C-alpha cells in the first residue's frame, strides 16, 4: 500500500509539474553535471519542475533563451556580453565555476615554455575575433611579434588529434576537458591558465542564463530552478565520482575515464573563494567588458544588467 501511495504522489507531482526546457551550450560534459544530478536526484521534481535538457540545434543557447524556445541555458560571460550588444535580452543568473579554467596548452616537446616562445609556432584557431584579440593582447604583454605567429583554423578538430598530428603547436582549451583528455591519452603537455596571464581574463565561464522576460513574468520559477540546480552542483562537489556516473547515464557516448577525472577536477572549482555557489562579482563582469570595449569587440552597453545574483538561494 505504501508503494502505491508513493507512486501516486510521484504521478501527481509529474502530472502537475511546470514544464521547463534547459538548453546546453554544446554536447553534455562535466560543466553540466549539476543539471543532470538535479534531474536524476529529483531536485527539480521537488520544486514542481519537469525539466528537459536539450542540445542547441539551429539556434545558439542565447538565441533560444532570448526567443523563449528555452527557459534557461548554459552560456559564457563573453557570449552574454555579445548577445546583449546585439539586443538579445539574456541575463546570467549564476556562475557554474568561480574562475576561468581555460588556457593555452602545448606539448612539452614543442619547444614552448611560455608565450615568449610563440613566434614561429602554429596556433590552432577556432576562428573568432575575441580569440585573436586575446592573442594580440598576450603577444604585446610578452613582447612577441604577432606577425610571426601562424594561425591555422581547425574548426571542430579534436584537440588530442591536432596535437598528435602536429596540425598546430598550441591551442586555447579548457583544462577540465581537453587537457585531461590529452593526459589520459598519454601526451606530455604544458598548460598556462588565462587567469595566470592577466587578471582581466579571469572571467565567468560557463554561466547559466535566462531571459529578462522570464525574470519579469516568472521570478519564482527562476528561484525554483536555481534552488534545484545549486543542490545539484553541491551534490557534485561532494560526490564527484557518483555524479560523473549520473552524467554518463544521460550521455553514455562520453568517455568514462575522461568524465570521472574531469568531474574530480571541476568539483573543486564550484565554490573556491565565493560566498556561495553561483555568485558573480560585478568587478569581474566590468573588467572583462572594458577589455572587450577597448578591443572594439562590443559597443557600449549597461554591463550591470547582464547578470544578477538576486535569485541565488
Q: What is the pLDDT of residues 43-53, one digit of tens each?
A: 999 999 999 99
Residue-level pLDDT at 60? 94
How much of the chain, in percent, has pLDDT values that exceed 70?
95
**pLDDT beyond 50 at 128:** yes
On whether residue 240 sits in a domain, the answer given is yes
197 and 107 in a common domain:
yes
Three-class SS of 246-297: HHHHHCCCCCHHHHHHHHHHHCCCCCCCCCCCECCCHHHHHHHHHHHHHCCC
14 and 89 in a common domain:
yes
Phi-psi region of 143 (alpha: psi -120 to 50; beta: other; left: phi over 0): left
On whether residue 117 sits in a domain, the answer given is yes
155 and 118 in a common domain:
yes
Quick one: pLDDT band at residue 6, thresholds 50, 70, 90? very low
Among 172, 201, 230, residue at a domain's last position:
201
Quick one: pLDDT band at residue 137, thresholds 50, 70, 90? very high
Among 201, 224, 254, residue at a domain's last position:
201
82 and 41 in a common domain:
yes
On whether residue 245 sits in a domain, the answer given is yes
**pLDDT beyond 50 at 9:** no
Chain centroid to CA 129: 19
112 and 95 in a common domain:
no
**pLDDT beyond 90 at 7:** no
262 and 237 in a common domain:
yes
On whether residue 256 sits in a domain, the answer given is yes
Residue-level pLDDT at 1? 56
Quick one: pLDDT band at residue 76, thresholds 50, 70, 90? very high
On whether residue 310 sits in a domain, the answer given is no
- Burial zone of 215 (CB within 10 Å; 0-12 exposed, 13-18 middle, 19+ buried): middle
Average confidence (pLDDT) over 257-273:
95
Helices (H), the chain: 2-15, 33-40, 43-46, 61-67, 77-85, 129-142, 159-164, 180-184, 194-197, 212-217, 219-238, 240-250, 256-266, 282-294
Quick one: pLDDT band at residue 15, thresholds 50, 70, 90? low
Q: What 3-state DSSP class applies to 210?
A: strand
138 and 76 in a common domain:
no
Chain centroid to CA 45: 24
pLDDT-wise least confident of 11-15, 188-192, 242-246: 11-15
Average confidence (pLDDT) over 203-227:
98
Query: CA 103 to CA 105: how far, in whole Å?
Result: 7
On whether residue 286 sits in a domain, the answer given is yes
**pLDDT beyond 90 at 312:** yes
210 and 190 in a common domain:
no
Q: What is the CATH number of the domain that holds 267?
A: 3.40.190.10
For 50, list phi and psi in degrees, rounded to 5: -110, 105
Average confidence (pLDDT) over 37-47:
98
Quick one: pLDDT band at residue 2, thresholds 50, 70, 90? low
| Mean per-residue pLDDT of the chain | 93
Residue-level pLDDT at 211? 98
Average confidence (pLDDT) over 103-111:
95
Quick one: pLDDT band at residue 122, thresholds 50, 70, 90? very high
Residue range of the domain that includes 63:
2-99+204-305
145 and 274 in a common domain:
no
Average confidence (pLDDT) over 79-94:
97
231 and 164 in a common domain:
no
Query: CA 33 to CA 54: how far, in whole Å?
Result: 14
Among 147, 174, 201, residue at a domain's last position:
201
Average confidence (pLDDT) over 77-92:
97
**pLDDT beyond 80 at 4:** no
On whether residue 313 sits in a domain, the answer given is no
Q: Closest Cα to residue 191, out of 266, 107, 272?
A: 107
Q: How many domains does the chain have?
A: 2
272 and 142 in a common domain:
no
**pLDDT beyond 80 at 82:** yes
Average confidence (pLDDT) over 77-96:
97
Q: What angle do CA 190, 193, 197 make, to 5 degrees?
A: 115
**pLDDT beyond 60 at 110:** yes
209 and 221 in a common domain:
yes
**pLDDT beyond 90 at 13:** no
Give pTM, 2 decimals: 0.92
Amino acid at each position: 500500500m505504501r508503494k502505491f501511495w508513493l507512486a501516486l504522489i510521484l504521478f501527481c507531482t509529474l502530472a502537475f509539474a511546470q514544464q521547463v526546457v534547459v538548453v546546453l551550450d554544446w554536447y553534455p560534459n562535466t560543466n553540466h553535471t549539476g543539471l543532470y544530478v538535479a534531474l536524476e536526484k529529483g531536485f527539480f521534481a521537488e520544486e514542481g519542475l519537469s525539466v528537459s535538457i536539450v542540445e542547441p540545434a539551429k539556434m545558439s543557447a542565447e538565441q533560444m533563451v532570448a526567443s523563449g524556445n528555452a527557459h534557461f541555458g548554459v552560456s559564457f560571460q563573453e557570449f552574454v556580453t555579445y548577445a546583449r550588444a546585439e539586443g538579445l535580452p539574456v541575463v546570467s543568473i549564476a556562475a557554474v565555476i568561480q574562475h576561468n579554467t581555460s588556457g593555452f596548452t602545448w606539448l612539452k616537446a614543442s619547444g614552448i615554455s611560455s608565450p615568449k616562445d610563440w613566434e614561429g609556432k602554429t596556433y590552432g584557431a577556432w576562428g573568432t575575433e575575441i580569440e585573436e584579440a586575446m592573442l594580440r593582447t598576450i603577444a604585446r604583454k610578452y613582447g612577441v611579434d604577432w606577425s610571426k605567429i601562424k594561425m591555422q583554423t581547425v574548426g571542430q578538430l579534436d584537440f588530442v588529434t591536432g596535437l598528435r598530428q602536429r596540425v598546430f603547436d598550441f591551442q586555447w582549451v579548457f583544462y577540465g576537458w581537453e587537457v585531461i583528455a590529452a593526459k589520459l591519452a598519454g601526451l606530455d603537455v604544458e598548460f598556462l591558465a588565462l587567469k595566470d596571464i592577466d587578471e582581466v581574463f579571469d572571467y565567468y565561464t560557463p554561466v547559466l542564463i535566462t531571459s529578462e522576460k522570464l525574470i519579469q513574468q516568472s521570478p519564482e520559477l527562476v528561484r525554483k530552478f536555481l534552488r534545484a540546480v545549486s543542490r545539484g552542483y553541491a551534490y557534485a562537489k561532494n560526490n564527484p565520482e557518483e555524479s560523473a556516473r549520473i552524467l554518463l547515464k544521460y550521455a553514455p557516448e562520453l568517455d568514462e575515464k575522461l568524465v570521472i577525472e574531469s568531474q574530480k577536477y571541476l568539483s573543486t572549482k564550484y565554490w573556491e573563494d565565493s560566498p556561495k555557489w553561483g555568485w558573480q562579482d560585478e568587478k569581474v563582469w566590468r573588467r572583462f567588458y572594458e577589455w572587450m570595449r577597448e578591443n572594439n569587440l562590443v559597443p557600449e552597453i549597461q554591463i550591470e544588467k547582464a547578470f544578477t545574483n538576486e535569485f541565488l538561494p
